[in-house]
Amino acid sequence: MDQDINSNPEGSAYGRPMHHHDAELVEVGPGTPCGEFMRRYWHPVALSADVTTTPQKVRILGEDLILFRDGRGRPGLLTPRCSHRGTSLYYGKVDDDGIRCCYHGWQFDVQGRCIDQPCEPQGGLAKNRIRQPWYPVEEIYGLVFAYMGPPAKKPVLPRWEVFEKLAPGQSIYVHGYTGFGVGADDTIKIVPMNWLQSYENIMDPFHVPMLHTRHRAVQYTPEAGHLPQVTYESTELGLNYIAHRKMKDGSTVERVSSAMMPLIMVVPDQKLEIGEPTSYIRWITPVDDQSHALFHAIRVPPGVDGRELFLNVSRPMPMGTSKMWSEMTEEEHQRHPTDWEAMVSQGPITLHSEEHLATSDNGVMTLRRLLKRQIMTVREGGDPMGVAFDPAKAVNKVTAGNYKRNAPEKALA
Ligand code: FES
Ligand SMILES: [Fe+2]
């Protein structure tokens, strides 16, 4: 696939081959191999606080849906086209029992059952035969999760140990639809690129010394500028990288970052503060093949402002400006690029056939192989990594964090 330097020794851009993305790896629409894999998990689709009796449009895994909360507090996720004659339920009216289509008043509950047909004799004698297509939703930690896969394969909604037993005064702060590396910038709703470009960044330890430290400015801590020695380890839910760095006091810090199936990332404190397992989890939710959203949950210590804490951990600081990411000028983006600029500039879906992966991409390659294995497992009728059907196995542990340990015996990357 590479351009042949024997036939084109000068490397001229003229006549270069057309390149393409790896469709099996990154396309998530209904019926695609990766889409079927993704549909075997719960995905966050909104913050609980944002789901009200006003219907809202959401697009998840390439499907347009309507999200609302009925008057009794139950969230519902239905397909938009009314089962009667296709008017969008976006214009529906919600009451205690469900959502009522604006056109002829058919009403559906949060599981799509048709409960009223006011223009039909006796409110619709055959209404029980109608079901508006729907997906299950559940709420936890202030997030609304949806399951869009085969009903018989619905796993238990995962819980996270770091959020389960809060000490007195601790709370959970959630933030949604914020672009990668832009902090709590509420104007950023959607990241305009394929989900994998975000996800594989978590297994890319070598961009930390370059993009975040040496390129222009120290965005976290000068010590992050040392090229780390890196090892990788498989975990129950995915993959960790361990970046070993010598600190000024001669000690070694191991920075453990996690990618968990299907689209969960745990990034330890970027300033290399030593800490117990990280209590900050990010979820990527594919909107479609060319865009995604991010949802965040962080445990907040007593007396700390959750939004401030989230801003500090999610945004490279300093960026040479105190502006929010969306307020920066083009020139400031050029001068202070972060993850967003590095990843979005690869295009809506990067051209995998054009890449030249090197030793520093071991984590990225391993993550892609792991994803392909899961896609294959689902294709062959199996259950992918990390799905649990037993409620007793719903609680997961986080292993990411910054740990002080002895120097590594050998480095793999
Ligand atoms: S189109 Fe919805 S009730 Fe007629
Ligand atoms: Fe980064």
The atom number, within ligand 1, closest to the CA of 117 reads 3
pLDDT in tens, 256-310: 999 999 999 998 876 667 777 899 999 999 999 999 999 999 999 999 999 988 8
The residue whose C-alpha atom lies closest to atom 3 belonging to ligand 1 is 104
Q: Does residue 84's CB lie within 6 angstroms of at least one atom of ligand 1?
A: yes
Q: Which of 157-166, 280-289, 313-322 has the lowest mean pLDDT?
A: 313-322
Contact between 266 and 400 (Cβ < 8 Å): yes
State the average pLDDT for the chain.
92
Q: Does residue 93's CB lie within 6 angstroms of at least one atom of ligand 1?
A: no
Q: What pLDDT, on a 0 to 100 scale, did the predictor assign at position 320?
A: 58
Q: What pLDDT, on a 0 to 100 scale, did the predictor assign at position 239?
A: 97
The C-alpha atoms of residue 319 and residue 296 are separated, in whole angstroms, by: 21
CA of 156 to the centre of ligand 2 (A): 31
pLDDT in tens, 318-358: 555 678 888 889 998 998 898 999 999 999 999 999 999 99
Pocket test for ligand 1, best of 82, 100, 108, 127 (most atoms within 8 A of CB): 82
Q: Could you give the percent of the chain with pLDDT greater than 70?
A: 94
Q: Which residue has the higher pLDDT, 223 or 237?
A: 237
Mean pLDDT of 37-64: 98
Q: What pLDDT, on a 0 to 100 scale, did the predictor assign at position 407?
A: 47
Q: What angle do CA 400, 401, 407 make, to 5 degrees?
A: 110
The atom number, within ligand 1, closest to the CA of 105 reads 3
Q: Does residue 90's CB lie within 6 angstroms of at least one atom of ligand 1?
A: no
CA of 343 to the centre of ligand 2 (A): 10
pLDDT-based confidence at residue 413 (cuts at 50, 70, 90): very low
Q: Does residue 101's CB lie within 6 angstroms of at least one atom of ligand 1?
A: yes
Q: What pLDDT, on a 0 to 100 scale, did the predictor assign at position 319?
A: 58
Contact between 342 and 200 (Cβ < 8 Å): no
Q: What is the 3-state secondary structure (H, E, C) of the chain?
A: CCCCCCCCCCCCCCCCCCCCCCHHHHCCCCCCHHHHHHCCCEEEEEEHHHCCCCCEEEEECCEEEEEEECCCCCEEEECCECCCCCCEHHHCEECCCCEECCCCCCEECCCCEEEECCCCHHHCCCHHHCECCEECEEEECCEEEEECCCHHHCCCCCEEHHHHCCCCCCEEEEEECCCCCCCCCCCCCCECCCHHHHHHHHHCCCHHHHHHHHCCCCCCCHHHHCCCEEEEEECCCEEEEEEEEECCCCCEEEEEEEEECCCEEECCCCCCCCCCCCCEEEEEEEEECCEEEEEEEEEECCCCCHHHHHHHHHCCCCCCCCCCHHHCCHHHHHHCCCHHHHHHCCCCCCCHHHCCCCHHHHHHHHHHHHHHHHHHHHHCCCCCCCCCCCHHHCEECCCCEEEEECCCCCCCC
| Long-range Cβ contacts of 18-22 (<8 Å, 24+ apart) | 19/351, 19/353, 19/354, 20/351, 20/352, 20/353, 21/194, 21/349, 21/350, 21/351, 21/352, 21/353, 22/352, 22/353
Contact between 55 and 89 (Cβ < 8 Å): yes
The C-alpha atoms of residue 357 and residue 116 are separated, in whole angstroms, by: 58
Q: What pLDDT, on a 0 to 100 scale, did the predictor assign at position 204?
A: 96
Q: What pLDDT, on a 0 to 100 scale, did the predictor assign at position 410?
A: 42
Handedness of CA 176, 181, 187, 192 (dihedral sign): negative
Mean pLDDT of 224-233: 90
Mean pLDDT of 56-81: 98
Q: Does residue 108's CB lie within 6 angstroms of at least one atom of ligand 1?
A: no
Q: What pLDDT, on a 0 to 100 scale, did the predictor assign at position 3?
A: 58
Residues 6+ apart with CB under 8 A from 189: 177, 293
Nearest ligand to the CA atom of 101: 1
